[in-house]
Amino acid sequence: MSLTARFLLGFALVASVGLFVLFSQLIQRVERQYMEATEEPMVDVANILAEILATQAKNGVLDPTVVETAVHFAQARELNAQIYNRTKTQVDMQVYVTDAERRVLFDSAGIEKPGSISNRRDVVLTLNGEYGARSSRSSAYDPLSVVMFVGAPIRVEGKTIGMVSVAKPQRGVLAFVWETERWLKWTVTATVLLMLAGIFFAAKWATKPLEDLTQHALAVSRGERSLPPHMPGHQMKTLATALEDMRDALEGREYVESYVQSLTHELKSPVAAILGASEILQDGDVPEEKRARFLGNIRAEAGRLRDLLERLLHLAALEKQKTLLKREPVHLGEVIGRAWDHLAVLAQARHVQMESQIDADLVVEGDSWLIELAVSNLLQNALDFSPSGGLLKVKAYRFEKRGVIEIEDQGPGVPDYARERVFERFYSLPRPDTGKKSTGLGLCFVKEAATLHGGSIELMTGESGKGTKAVLVLP
C-alpha cells in the first residue's frame, strides 16, 4: 500500500469515527433543543390560562366558558404566518380543563367528554403539586402524531381547585427536527468527502518528494543516469543527499571493479603480442624482414594501448559528470566538418567519400567538445565498416526543436544480436576488412554524451536495406 493510500485510509478511519460520534450526539442535542424550545412557551401559556380561570372562578367553582370561547374563536382564525420554510395557517394548540377531582370540564379537542374522570399523567401530576407534562401519539402508526401536553394548577387563595393543560401537536416541530437531521447528514457527508479529497491532495503533495526520490533510486538501481530531484525541507534534503552520497560510493566501487576487470581483459592481447614479439627479437638470428614485421607489431599494439588508455580517460571523465559543465551554442555543420577533417587521411586511404546534406544555421546547445568527439566516433565507426570506395551519407537537420545527425554507411550492418550490446563498454564487432576489433569504447562514449545532453543515439538498418545508419538526436 502506498504512503498516500495509508494517509488517506488513516484519516478516513479517524474522521469517520470522530464525525459519527459527533453526529450522533449532535442529532440528540438538536431534537432535545427543539423540544425545549417548544415546551418552554407552553408552560407560560398554561400558567396564563390557569390565572385567567382562577379569576373567573366563583365560590371555588371553575367556569371554563371564557377559555372555551377564546379557544374556539382562535381556532377559527385564518393565519398566514411564514415561519422560515413553514407556513402556519391555523391555531393548532388544544386546551382542556379539569376540577380538583379530575373531572373534565372542557376539552377543545373533543376527546374527553365533560364529566368523565381523566387519569392522564399530566392531570395526575399537576393536581399532586408536581410538574405535569407528557408526550403521546394520537396514532400508533404515525411517528409524526406526537402531541406534547403541559399542565398548570388553578389556585384560588392557595387552594388547588383544578388544572388546565395545553396540548401542542409536534408534527411541525418534528418536521423541523427531521429536516435539520437530513441537512446535518448531507452536510457531514459532504464535509467528509471534501476533507478526504483535501487530505488526498495534501498527501499527494506531501509524499511527492518521496515518490520523486523513489523513482530516482529505481532509476539508479537500473543503471540509468538520473539527476537527484529537488527536495523541500531540511529532512528531505538530508535524505536525498545521503542517498546520492551512497549512490556515488556504490557506483565508484562498482565502477572501479568493472573497469579493472574490463581493462585487464582488453590489455591481455596487446601486452601478450608485445611480449611475444620482444622475446623473438631477443634472438639475434631473426631475419631483417621478420624483425621489421615484429617491430611493426609492437608499434601497432603500443598504439592500440595508447588509444585504449586515451578513450578510457575520456569515458571515465564523462561518466563522472551528472550534468553538463559547459553549455554554449554549437553549429552542427562546423562540428561535422572538423570531425571529418580529422579522418580525411584515413578516408582517402580507403577511397571513401562523404556525401553531406546539412541544414544551414543548425545550432544546438551543449558542450562542443563532447559533441564533436561523439560525431568523430560515429564517423570513425562508419569508416571502419565501409567497403573500399564506399560512400558515407551524412545528414543534419532540425526536427521538433531538436537537432538530428544521421550517418549512414554501406557496410555489412549490425547483426540483430549485437544491436543492443554495441553500446556496452569494451563490446566491439570485427572489422570486415581486417577481422580486428576496436576498443569498444566509442559507441559507449557517444551514448554517454547523448544522455548527458538529454538526447539519444540509435543504430538502425540503412535506407537501402544494407549498411548501418546511426541517428544522434540532441536538444
| E strand or H helix that includes residue 329 | strand 328-331
Q: Hey, which of 10-24, 65-79, 238-252 has the most confident mean pLDDT?
A: 65-79
C-alpha cell read off for 220: 539508479
Q: Residues 68-73: what's their mean pLDDT? A: 92
Which residues make beta-bridge pairs with 353? 391
Predicted local confidence at residue 425, as pLDDT = 65
User: How do strand 391-398 and strand 353-358 relate by DSSP bridges?
Assistant: parallel
Predicted local confidence at residue 253, as pLDDT = 47
Give the C-alpha separation, 326 to 318, whole Å.
Answer: 13
More confident residue, 294 or 148: 148
Sorted by sequence, the CB contacts under 8 Å of residue 5 that are 6+ apart come out as none
Predicted local confidence at residue 222, as pLDDT = 61
The 403-408 sheet, strands edge to edge: 353-358, 391-398, 403-408, 468-474, 456-461
Taking all residues of the chain, what is their mean pLDDT, rounded to a whole number?
79
pTM greater than the 0.75 cutoff: no
Question: Which tens digit of pLDDT belongs to each residue from 424-474?
Answer: 766 667 665 655 666 666 777 788 788 888 888 888 888 777 888 889 998
Question: Which tens digit of pLDDT belongs to each residue from 338-359?
Answer: 888 877 777 887 888 888 888 8
Q: What percent of the chain has pLDDT over 90?
A: 18
Sorted by sequence, the CB contacts under 8 Å of residue 151 that are 6+ apart come out as 46, 122, 123, 125, 126, 132, 133, 163, 164, 165
Q: Residues 139-159: what's their mean pLDDT? A: 88
Q: Which of 124, 135, 121, 152 lies closest to 32, judged by CA? A: 135
199 close to 3: Cβ distance less than 8 angstroms: no
